[in-house]
A and B are shown apart, each in its own frame.
Chain A
C-alpha cells in the first residue's frame, strides 16, 4: 500500500533527572507524524497484526485500561503513532533486558507534533531503541520486513556493554529501594551512592572501604594461606614450585591426590584437581604455567567447590558448584551427549547473566576423561554415567545449609585478609557439617567477588546480597543524603540562593552552591559561568567535601535537563511569570510553566519542606504537591492564602513593615526590623528555608544580619587556562 506518511523524530532531549513528566531520567522526543495524523492504528491495514506478530509481548502493556491487553485493545480501537512509538520503544528496551518503565505521549499545540517520553535507563540505548521503534513501526505500516531479532541483538549488546553489570546493578537497585541516590561516575561500574560528604562509592562488589592492601593479599594465594592457617582457618597445605620436576617432588611429599594450579591465575583456568600421579602432575604443570606467573601444588581437598559471600563479617550467601555428568545411550559420543544432555539446558549460555556456562571439553575435562580411558569421541554404553566436569559454575544456592561454625570461619577468613566484602572459595563434601571432620578447606579468598551466582542461582533461592552490601555502607536509617535546598522561580532566585548559602555556612556546614553566581565551594567561587544548570548542580553533589548544597534551577534548565538531584530537603519556588513561556520547548502557557516549576516541589522529601510564595497564587497552589511540610512566605500579611494556611496550624513567614513574623498557626514570634534596608523577596524565603532546616529565630536573625557584601562570593581567579575541554 502507499505510505500514508512518515514518522519523523525532530529532536531528542535528555532529561537527566526529575522533570515535568516523572521522577526518573527520560528521553523526550519531539515527533512529527505528518499525514499519519489521519491514520490511527485501526485504519492502517494489517498494521496491528504485523506489530503484534513482531512484538507479541505488547499484550502485557496495561495502557489505558489498567489491565493486561490494554494496549492491544487501544490498537484495535485506534490510537496514534506517537503513542504506539512510546510503547514499542519501551518494549524493545524491555526485550533487550532493561527493566520496563515510564512512558508518555503528549500532543503539542502544533498539529501532528507529539512529545514522546520514555524512561531512559541508559541514554544511548534508549536513543537507539527510539529510532529502532520508529523504523519498526514504519516497516509495519508499510508492510515491509523488519529484522526484529537483529535489532534486539544489537540492543542487548549495547546493554551488556553500556549498562551497569549485574553485580553493580543489584547494589544500586538495593540502594534505590532504600531511597539512597546513585550517580554513575564512569562508563564502567564505578557508582557513587549518596551525595556530597555522605556519599560512598562502589565498583562492582568493591566498596570504598575495600582495602587495597587486603585486595593485594587476596591475590597472593600463598600469603593468604599463611595468614589463614595462622588463625586456624583450615587451608590445603602446599608449595610454590618452579619446575615440573619440583612439582612432582612436592606432590609426592604431600601425598596424592594433589591440585596443580597457576599461582595468580583467574577463573579456574589451568586448575587441575584430583591429580593422581607424577606424570599427571607434570602434564598439569605444563598447562598451569602458561596461565599465571608460577604454579602451586597443594593437597587435594576432597569435595565440591563452594562460594561463600561474606559482607561486613557476616555470611550472606553461599553457592555450590555444578557437577556435570552425561549418561550414555549406546549410540552417541561423549561430545554429542554433552551437547544434548548438558548444553541444551537453557540456563547454560555464554552471556554474563547466564547462570551456567556451556560445558566444554577443555584440558581439565579431557584429563578427567582420559583417566577413565575415554575421550570426546568415545561412545558410552547405555546407562553409563560419566563425570565430565567436576567444578563447573558455582551456581546452586546452599545458603541455608552452611554449618554455623563454617560461617564463622569464613567470616574470620575475610577479617584476617582484611576485606569488607569477600568471596570465599571453600571445598568440602558436605557444607552442613563442620569442616574439620571432613578435611574441608578454604582454598581462596576473593576481593570484588561476582554476585551473579547469588542473584540468579541456577537452583535455589536468590539472596539479597545487594541489600546486605547497602546495609554495610549505609546502616539502617542512613540514606546518604546531605541537606539540599533547591530553588526555582522566575524572579530573585539567585539572591535567595546567596542568603540560604550564607545561613548554611554560618552554621558550620561546608556548603556547595550552584547558582547564577556560578559554582561555589564553601564560599570559593570556582566557576563563574551561570551555574543554575544540571552540570554545575551535579558537580556540587559529587563533591566529597560538601556538607550542604544550595542549587538554583532555572525554569528552562528544569525543562531542558531535569533536576540534578532526585530529592531535596527544601524546595523553594519564588514566583511564576506567565509571560516567560518556553515556546521552543512547546511550553507555551502558564499551565505548562506551572508543570515545569512544580518539579521542584515534587521532589521534596517527606521529612523536608516546601517554601512557597503566598503572594503568587499559582505558586502557593503547589502546596498540595508537597510530600513534606509547607512554609508559605508573603508580604501581604492578611492574604486569604496565608490565613487559610495558618488556620490549619501551619508555618508562615510574613513581612509586616520592617518586621518579620514567624507564624505557626495563630502563634507568632517576631524578628523586629530585620527587613530594614533588605530585600524581602530574598530574605523571606531564606528565613523560611532556614526555619525549615531547623535554625532558631536567633540564628536566623544573626544569619540575615551578618549577610553583607563581605559574604558575597570572592571574585574568581582566572581559570580560563585550566578549564577542561569537554
Chain B
C-alpha cells in the first residue's frame, strides 16, 4: 500500500463540510480485496473491537485503502475526538483510490493517518500492532492542541450562534467573525480587555487601594519591607495573618493563618521565593468564593475548597489521596472537571504543618488539607453557588470589576456565607482576576453548570449578530474574473469596503494587497482577516477547492457562471465536465441556508446543482422561454434574463429592467458572454439586496479595461485597427470570443494563439477548429511553459485543428509570445481586427499597452508634423 499526496482539507470540500485529511492510496493486487488478506481484517477487528464492517455492501470487496480510512477514523474517535465522517472513492486507475478522514485538529488527523498506515503495514506483514498505544498518542496530542475548557466553551457557544471562528495560534488565541466584524478572545479574555486593567489586577496592593476607595471591603494589611515590618503589621492586625507575594498567581507563595513568629518566618521565605514584594494581611475567616462578572453582571459563583481527604482512621494519607484520585472525574490536566491531588513538596509541607506526613494515619473523621489554595488545577473542588449569592455581595463583585476596569472578571472573596452581605460578616474581596478560569463554572465538581461561553459570546456579539460580512463566491468555467470584478464594483457603489480575490490578486477597497493567482482559499481567508473589509467577493477556482477546500464555511451568494464543456480536464483525476461540475458545486452546497445560489439556467450542469443548495436559487439565461427559466419563474423564484435590449430581473409578476445600452461592458448588448456575466452579477447584487438604482449606476460606471479586468476582452485601437486581448483558453471561451468579435467591424481578421501543454489533445485541436472558421490569419506560438510536452508538440496539435478550416488562409508559427504579438501588429492595416489570446497575461498586456502607446505617440507626432509642415 502506497500513500501519496496527503492533503489537509481545511474548509468545506468535495467530500463534505468537515475538515479532513485526504490521501491518494495505491493498493497492490492483493490489497485491493481484503478477502485475499484474511489475517489482516481479523487482526484489525481484534485490535479495534466493535469495528463496524468494512464492506458497504455485504459480500462486496473492500480494499486496504478502505481499512486505512476506517482505521484512521476509529483511532481518532477512540482517542476522544469528535469525528463523524470518513470515505473512500476509486479513481479510474485500478488500485488507486482517494480516501478521506475527518479531523478536529489537523495535526491529530495527520498523525491518525500515519499511525493507521503503520498499524495496517504491520498487520499486513504478519506482525502485531499496538492500537492502544496509537490511541494514547493521539489522545495526548489532542489534549495538547485542543482548545482549553474556557476557550472551548466560548468557541462552542459561538459556533452554536453561527459565528465563524479561526484559531490564530496553537494556543488559545481565537478570532471570531470576519473582516470589520472580527473579534478576538484568548481563554476568558476578550479583545477589549484592557491591558492596564490587567496590570492593575496583577498588583494586589493597588487593587486593594482602589477597591477600598470605593467601599468594597478588602482585608486590612499592607506591603511590608522585611520580616520585622511584617511582624509589626501582624501584631497591629491582632489576628491570624495571610502572607503573600505582591505579584503572584495560582496561590503560589501564599501562607494563610500565620499566627506565630516562627510561622511568619516560614511564610516570609515562601513568599519571597515568588516576589521581593510581600504583603501581610488580616486573615479573613471563612470559605473561598469565586464570583464571575461579565459586563457588569454576576453570571456565576462557586465555593472553592482546597484538595483534602477525610481520614477513616485506618488508611494512610497517601492511600486516602490515591482513593480520591481514583475518581474518574479527576485527570492530569484541564480537560476533566477535577484534577488529581499531588503529594508534591507543597502538599508534604502542608501536611507537616499539621503534624503529619504521607504515611501518617490521622484520627478518624479528621479533615486533612493538602494545599492552602483552592485552585482546581492543584486538586481543589468547586461547588456552584450562583443562585445563593446575596444581591449586595453580587453588587460588590460588580463594583470591584468595574473599578479595576475588567469586563470579564473573577472576583475572589473570603467570607463565611455568600448569602449574607460581606460587611455583616467581616468578609472581603481578596483578589481580582483577569482572564479567570471558567472550568469551575462550566463543569463544577458539584452543582449546576453555568453557560458562560454564551454569556461571553453575547458580550462580543449582541443577539442577532453573527460576525459575518456578505461573502459572494464565484466559480465556473468562463467569466469568473469579470463577474467577480463587476459584483465587487456594484457592492462598492454602496460605500462598503470590498475585499476581492481573483486570478490577478487581492484588492481591499482600492488597495492591492497581494498579486498573482489568488483564487484559492488562503487568499479568501486573508481577506476575511482584514479589519477593514465589509463585504467580500471571491473567485473560487477548482484548484483550491480540490487542494484545500473552501476558505470560508459558507457564503451568502454562490455564483456558477457556466460549466459548458469544462476546462483543465484530465488534471487531478477530473476527467469530464460532470466531474468539473462536481468540484464547483462545492460552492453551491455551501451557500448559507438564508443565502442564494446564482446559476446559469441554460447550462444543464449548473442547473443540476440547484437541488444541493441549502439556500434559494436564482437562474439566469438569455431566453426567458427556456424551460428551466420559465419553470423557475413559474415556481415563484427569481430569474434574470435578456429580453431584447434589456436585462430583466423577474420574480412572479414583478420585473426590473436594465437597458443594455447603459452597460458599456456588453457594448450595448453586442458581446453575448459579457451579457451573461452581467446577468450573473445582477442576480448576485439582487441576492445581497442592493438597490436597483445603485446597480444601474454601477453597471454604467464599470470599466472593463486592461487595468480593471486584465485579459478579459480588453480592447485597443492600434493604427486604425481593433485589437482585442483575452485570456480565453478553452473551447467554450473561444466560441464566446468568436461570437463577440463577430459583432465588431474588421476587414481582415487575425488571431494569435498558443496552447497550454497540460490540456488534452482534443481540447487543443478544438480551439483552433473554432478559430479556423472565423479568422483569416492564425499566428501560432509556443508558450513559455510546455508543461511536459515535447518541443513543437502543442503547436502541432493546434495546427491539426486548423486542417479543413473554412476561413483561415494563412498560418504562421512563431517562438515566444511577444514575437507573435509583434508579428500580428506589424501586419495590421486600418480597419483590420486582431484577437490576441494572451498567455502570460500581465507581461503580454504590458507589452501590448506599450506598443499601442508608442503607435499613438507616433501618430500624434505625425499629426504635429503635418500641422507645422
Contacts of B168 in A (CB 8 A): 217, 223, 227
Query: Within 8 Å of chain B (Cβ to Cβ): is A718?
Result: yes
Residues A722 and B403 in contact in the complex (CB < 8 Å), given A186-B203, A231-B513, A232-B514: no
Which positions 417-451 of chain B face chain A at CB distance < 8 Å? 421-424, 426-428, 434
Chain A residues closer than 8 Å to B530, beta-carbon distance: 230-232, 416
B215 close to A521 (CB less than 8 A) = yes
Known: A206-B195, A231-B508, A717-B423. A212 touches B189 (CB 8 A): yes
| Residues A722 and B214 in contact, CB atoms below 8 Å apart | no
Q: Nearest CB to that of A448 among chain B residues?
A: B195
Q: A13 near B: Cβ within 8 Å?
A: no
With A539-B213, A717-B423 already in contact, the answer to whether A211 and B219 are too (CB < 8 A) is no
Task: Give a binary string over A617-651; 1 marks a CB under 8 Å from any B CB, 0 the rest.
Answer: 00000000000000000000000000000000000
The residue that B219 contacts in the complex, of A448, A526, A545, A722, with Cβ under 8 A, is: A722
Let me know if B208 and A724 touch, CB within 8 A: yes
Docked-complex contact A213 and B220, CB < 8 angstroms? no
- Contacts of A425-467 to chain B: CB distance below 8 A: 447-448
Q: Say if the beta carbon of B184 comes within 8 Å of chain A.
A: yes
* Nearest-neighbor residue (CB-CB) of A525 within chain B: B215
Most B Cβ at <10 Å: residue of A190, A202, A213, A223: A213
Quick one: which of A225-251 are within 8 Å of B by CB? 227, 230-232
Task: Tell me if B162 is interfacial: C-beta within 8 Å of chain A.
Answer: no
Instruction: Tell me if B209 is interfacial: C-beta within 8 Å of chain A.
Output: yes
Cα of A192 to Cα of B199 in the assembled complex, Å: 14
| Chain A 691-726 interface mask (CB, 8 Å, partner B; 1/0) | 000000000000000000000000011110111111
B214 near A213 with CB under 8 A, answer no
Residues A210 and B210 in contact, CB atoms below 8 Å apart? no
- B679 contacts the other chain (CB 8 A): no
* The residue from A209, A232, A448, A527 contacting B513, defined by CB atoms under 8 A apart: A232
Could you say which of A415, A448, A544 contacts B405, with CB atoms under 8 Å apart?
A544
Instruction: Determine whether the beta carbon of B196 is less than 8 Å from that of A190.
Output: yes
When distances are taken between beta carbons in the complex, the residues of chain B under 8 Å from A538 are 213
- A162 in the interface, Cβ–Cβ < 8 Å? no
Q: Which of B173, B210, B219 contacts A213 (CB 8 A)?
A: B173
Q: Flag if A212 contacts B195 (CB, 8 Å).
A: yes
B200–A543 touching, CB < 8 Å = no
In angstroms, Cα B199 to Cα A202, docked, is 12
Indicate if A142 sits at the interface (CB-CB under 8 A): no
* Residues B173 and A217 in contact, CB atoms below 8 Å apart: yes
User: Chain B: which residue is nearest A203 at the CB level?
Assistant: B196
Alpha-carbon gap, A408 to B512, bound state (A): 13
In the bound complex, what is the Cα–Cα distance between A5 and B506 (angstroms)?
Answer: 84
Inter-chain contact A211/B191, CB cutoff 8 Å = yes
A216: interface (CB < 8 Å): yes
Contact (A213, B403) CB under 8 Å given A447-B195, A724-B208: no
Nearest residue (CB) in A for B197 is A208
Minimum C-beta distance from A310 to chain B (A): 13
Question: Which residues of B have CB within 8 Å of A542?
Answer: 210, 213-214, 403
Judging by beta carbons under 8 Å apart, are B426 and A213 in contact? no
Q: From B190, B192, B193, B220, give the contact of A724 (CB < 8 A).
A: B220
B 764-799 binary contact with A (CB < 8 Å = 1; else 0) = 000000000000000000000000000000000000
Determine whether B608 belongs to the interface, using a CB cutoff of 8 Å to chain A: no
Q: How close is A403's CB to chain B, nearest CB, in angstroms?
A: 13
Residues of B with C-beta under 8 A to A215: 195
Known: A210-B195, A213-B190. A721 touches B426 (CB 8 A): yes
Contact pick for B237, options A212, A231, A415, A725, CB 8 Å: A725
What is the CA–CA distance of A408 and B497 in the complex, to the nearest angstrom? 15
Q: Which A157-197 residues have a C-beta within 8 angstroms of B?
A: 185-186, 190
State in angstroms the CA–CA spacing of A527 and B218 once bound together.
Answer: 13
Interface residue A201 (Cβ < 8 Å from any Cβ of B): yes
The A-contacting residues of B in range 678-736, CB under 8 angstroms, are none
Do B426 and A544 touch (CB < 8 A)? Answer: no
Chain A proximity of B421: nearest CB distance (Å): 6
Residue of B nearest to A202 (CB): B196
- Min Cβ gap A434→B in Å is 11
Complex: A208 Cα to B186 Cα, angstroms? 18
Q: Are A230 and B185 in contact (CB under 8 A)?
A: no
Which of A185, A212, A415, A418 is within 8 Å of B198, CB to CB? Answer: A212
Closest to A718 in B: B423
Q: Are B196 and A201 in contact (CB-based, < 8 A)?
A: yes
CA distance A524 to B422 in the complex (A): 14
Contacts A214-B191, A223-B168, A418-B184; is A722 near B423 (CB within 8 Å)? Answer: yes
Q: How far is the CA of A211 from the CA of B219 in the complex (A)?
A: 30
Any A CB within 8 A of the CB of B282:
yes
Q: Restricting to A481-529, which residues have a CB under 8 Å from any CB of B?
A: 519, 521, 524, 526-527
Find the A residue at minimum CB distance from B395.
A524
Partner of A207, one of B196, B514, B525: B196
Q: Cβ of B222: which chain A residues have Cβ within 8 Å of it?
A: 724-726
Is residue A327 contacting chain B, with contact meaning CB distance below 8 A? no
Residue A412 at the B interface, CB < 8 A?
yes
A186 CA to B203 CA in the complex, in Å?
10
Question: How far does the alpha carbon of A538 sit from the alpha carbon of B212 in the complex, in Å?
Answer: 12
Q: Which residues of B contact A207 (CB under 8 A)?
A: 196
CA distance A202 to B423 in the complex (A): 32
Q: B200 contacts A190, CB within 8 Å?
A: yes
Inter-subunit contact A415/B184 (CB<8 Å): no
Nearest CB on A from B428, distance (A): 5
Q: Is the CB of A213 within 8 A of B189?
A: yes
A412 close to B218 (CB less than 8 A): no
Q: Does B320 contact A (CB under 8 A)?
A: no
Chain B 156-182 interface 0/1 with A at a Cβ cutoff of 8 Å (1 = within):
000000000000110001000000000
Contact of A545 among B214, B218, B237, B428 (CB under 8 A): B214
Q: Give CA–CA (A231, B198) in the complex, Å.
A: 29
Q: Which among A214, A718, A722 is the interface contact of B218 at CB below 8 angstroms?
A: A722
Q: How far is the CA of A209 from the CA of B421 in the complex (A)?
A: 33
Contacts of B514 in A (CB 8 A): 232
B354 within 8 A of A: no
Residues of A within 8 A of B237 (CB): 725
B206 in the interface, Cβ–Cβ < 8 Å? yes
B contact residues around A416 at 8 Å (CB): 529-531
Taking the nearest CB of chain A, how far is it from the CB of B763, in angstroms?
36
Nearest Cβ on chain A to B864's Cβ, whole angstroms: 33
Give Cα distance in the complex from A415 to B180, angstroms: 10
Verify A721–B220 contact, CB threshold 8 A: yes
Q: Chain A contacts of B213 at CB under 8 A? A: 538-539, 542-543
CB of B435, distance to nearest CB on chain A (Å)? 8
Given contacts A185-B206, A216-B186, whether A719 and B196 have CB atoms under 8 Å apart is no
A428 to B192, CA, bound (A): 32
Q: How far is the CB of B529 from chain A (nearest CB, A)?
A: 5
Q: Is the CB of A203 within 8 A of B426?
A: no
- In the bound assembly, the distance between CA atoms of A212 and B186 in angstroms comes to 10
| One of A185, A519, A521 near B210 (C-beta < 8 A) | A185
Looking at the complex, which one of B184, B215, B217 makes contact with A524 (CB distance below 8 Å)? B215
In B278-299, which residues have CB < 8 Å from any A CB?
Answer: 282, 284
List the A side residues contacting B426 at CB < 8 Å: 718, 721-722
Taking the closest CB of chain A, its distance from the CB of B459, in whole angstroms, is 14
Q: Supply 26 A–B pairs (Cβ within 8 Å), ascending by A.
A: A190-B206, A201-B194, A203-B199, A208-B197, A211-B192, A213-B185, A213-B186, A215-B195, A216-B186, A227-B168, A232-B511, A412-B531, A415-B531, A447-B195, A526-B215, A539-B213, A542-B213, A544-B402, A716-B423, A719-B423, A722-B219, A722-B220, A722-B422, A722-B427, A724-B212, A724-B218
- A positions within 8 Å CB-CB of B: 185-186, 190, 201-203, 206-217, 220, 223, 227, 230-232, 408, 412, 415-416, 418, 447-448, 519, 521, 524, 526-527, 538-539, 542-545, 716-719, 721-726
9 further contact pairs, Cβ within 8 A, besides A223-B173, A230-B525, A718-B423 = A201-B405, A206-B195, A212-B194, A213-B173, A214-B195, A227-B168, A545-B403, A724-B218, A725-B222
Q: Which 5 A-B pairs have the closest CB atoms?
A: A232-B513, A526-B215, A717-B423, A722-B217, A721-B426
